[in-house]
Amino acid sequence: MSDNTSVQVSRTINAPADKVFEHLTLPANHVELDGSGFIRSVAHGDRIQAVGDVFTMNMEGDHMGGEYQTDNHVTAYGRNAVVGWATAPAGTEPPGWTWVWELEGEGTGATRVTLTYDWSKVTDKELLKKVSFPLVEESKLEDSLAKLSEALS
């Protein structure tokens, strides 16, 4: 599902919520989960443990003219339920887009995972002209969920 300021996809993963959460809270795992193809490696990133944590990723994409880094400021954290962050060019404050992974146990060792990419809080008009949101399409988010399913199977 997508609207004018967000894209959201869901999938049932055949793993319990605690296992999914453990996988998602280790930034290094997002290199293999990245459906967009932008993430290259982790520059700095211990396991996410609380809102306020920050991890840094090495990225690459034509939209930024090649290699760059992002700081990811954790904005949502609930054990076995949700983890999310606001992304910013390294060394800057987040300009308004977030990634949120929500987990809902389905009782049989499976978890419904919903991934939301939201840019509704981007207010910088120059940035909105420069970046054509959504930078990551719905199909790429679906790819991330497929990779998560594969990693945990």
When pLDDT is cut at 50, 70 and 90, the band that residue 128 belongs to is confident
Residues 6+ apart with CB under 8 A from 100: 75, 76, 82, 83, 84, 115, 116, 118
Sheet arrangement for strand 6-13: 6-13, 111-118, 97-105, 82-89, 66-78, 54-61, 39-44
Query: Does the pTM of the predicted model rise above 0.85?
Result: yes
Q: Is the Cβ–Cβ distance between 116 and 6 less than 8 Å? A: yes
Compute the average pLDDT of residues 71-99: 96
- What pLDDT is attached to residue 2? 54
> Which CATH number applies to 6-152: 3.40.50.970, 3.40.50.720, 3.30.750.24, 3.30.530.20?
3.30.530.20
Residue in the block written with tokens 């453990």: 22
